[in-house]
Amino acid sequence: MRRSRGKGARCSLPLPPLQYGVPSAAMTSQRGSRRRQPPAYSWPMDSGSRDTSAPGTANPLSRLSLEQLRRRTSMKWRTYPDDVLPLWVAEMDTPLAEPVARAIVDAVALGDTGYPAGTDYAEALAGFASGRWGWDGLAVKRTAIVPDVMLGIVEMLKLVSGPGDPVIVNSPVYPPFYQFIQNLGRPVVEAPLGPDGRIDFEVLEAAFGRVTDGRKRPVHLLCSPHNPTGTLHTAEELAEVARLARSYGVRVVADEIHAPIVASGATFVPYLSVPGAEDGLSLMSASKAWNLAGLKAALAVAGPDAAADLARLPEEVGHGPSHVGVIAHTAALRHGGDWLDALLAGLDDNRRLLADLLAAHLPAVRCAPAQATYLAWLDCRSLGADGDPATLFLDRGRVALNSGADFGTGGAGFVRMNLATSPELITEAVHRMAAALD
């Protein structure tokens, strides 16, 4: 993997300073005023960004320039040299939603940076689930905060399985599934998706049948919505997963991190909302939809028949999330709805743009429109390229994409593109990819 040279800021766009709540001389000299209001939050990116319309309604994907993005120090922007367009790891090229930034700044102003406490995050998620998905079954008492979704998955696997127990995944799937499961000492069993990117129930049942021997405690790690294909599992499909799992004695852990990110007209169905899924466990988080991966916090949610399992979660797991992360995630779910809607509209546009660009410049690359996530799964098998297309696009086009080969069986010959960026960068990336084939 290419590493950047770790250079510092490369552009000097004038960004106004954040107005933290450092007491001014005037405030400190006010005798008798015991409670000070935190100062108003000042939007940090208005100056220097290209789109200065009101935050919350403008397309968040068009607000930051390439120069601003290159000043970021996170994985997406620091792994490759500056001549590479990074459209790989699942970070978004947006500023923070204003209510989220405000909540963080207010917490900092107050010095509210201790340990997490309470059920605010779970209550916010329950409200969001009810409002967005019409699901009122998320019981706050059957939730637990966990540091992030992957560590939450690990903890759920520890609760319902033991060392050596198999974990079934629907490949091609998010590569860390393989690493985290194997590091935990569980073998991964693949039940590949069908060619349409949907769960193949014959294949799934055969996999369940292979791993059930009465002694093992198998788990199906369901990715819903599915990364990388963007498949939204229907209520019927999820109920069929639950039925099969029950009949084979397989427990289901659902990773629902991408749940808020759906294409227009599509609806996410929570796994725990379908009949038969009462003993399921789910991991949810605001981190993908509001770009909060660096503010660690996620929620484990148990169905009614898994409540006793979740109750065995060691208390110290709940000390892992960041308190400021919990505050940020809570604000996103409570107050970030308008921002999310603007993001989803921008992603719809980006999916259409990508389809047009591929048709015009890379007609041999096929891409079924994703129903969810901000990821595009590009089938490059007809390009006839030698080797991995991701290597070709990186070496010759200077575009960083995820190699499909890392996603397990069914991934070779594909690349995953991150569409949570501006239309300009998507356009530039496809032009570069087309030029790489010349």
Ligand X SMILES: Cc1ncc(COP(=O)(O)O)c(C=O)c1O
Q: Which residues bind ligand X (CB under 6 A)?
A: 90, 148-150, 174, 223, 227, 255, 257, 285, 287, 293, 298
Taking the complex as a whole, the smallest distance from the CB of residue 266 to ligand X amounts, in Å, to 17
- Among residues 256, 184, 245, the alpha carbon closest in space to that of 220 is found at 245
Rg (CA), the chain: 22
Closer CB to ligand X, 281 or 436, in the complex: 281
Residue 418 CA to residue 400 CA, distance in Å, equals: 10
User: What does each C-alpha distance from 178 to 190, 205, 408 come to in angstroms?
Assistant: 10, 20, 8
Taking the complex as a whole, the smallest distance from the CB of residue 296 to ligand X amounts, in Å, to 7
Taking the complex as a whole, the smallest distance from the CB of residue 261 to ligand X amounts, in Å, to 10
Q: Helices 235-248 and 201-211, interaxial angle, to 10°?
A: 20
Closer CB to ligand X, 90 or 126, in the complex: 90
Closer CB to ligand X, 150 or 159, in the complex: 150
- Six-digit token pair at 417? 């593109």
Taking the complex as a whole, the smallest distance from the CB of residue 143 to ligand X amounts, in Å, to 15
- For the residues of 205-247, what is the DSSP string, one character each? HHHHHHH--SS---EEEEESSPTTT-PPPPHHHHHHHHHHHHH
- Six-digit token pair at 157? 């696997």
Closer CB to ligand X, 49 or 285, in the complex: 285
Taking the complex as a whole, the smallest distance from the CB of residue 20 to ligand X amounts, in Å, to 27
Closer CB to ligand X, 49 or 143, in the complex: 143
- The contacts of residue 334 (CB under 8 Å, 6+ apart) are 99, 124, 127, 128
Closer CB to ligand X, 49 or 227, in the complex: 227
Residue 94 CA to residue 45 CA, distance in Å, equals: 10
Residue 204 CA to residue 190 CA, distance in Å, equals: 9
17 exposed, middle or buried (CB, 10 Å; 0-12, 13-18, 19+)?
Answer: exposed
Taking the complex as a whole, the smallest distance from the CB of residue 287 to ligand X amounts, in Å, to 5
Taking the complex as a whole, the smallest distance from the CB of residue 418 to ligand X amounts, in Å, to 10
Closer CB to ligand X, 41 or 414, in the complex: 414
User: What does each C-alpha distance from 73 to 95, 121, 142 come to in angstroms?
Assistant: 14, 27, 37
Taking the complex as a whole, the smallest distance from the CB of residue 153 to ligand X amounts, in Å, to 8
Taking 3-state DSSP, the helix, strand and coil percentages for the chain, each rounded to the nearest 5, stand at 40, 10, 50
Closer CB to ligand X, 194 or 294, in the complex: 294
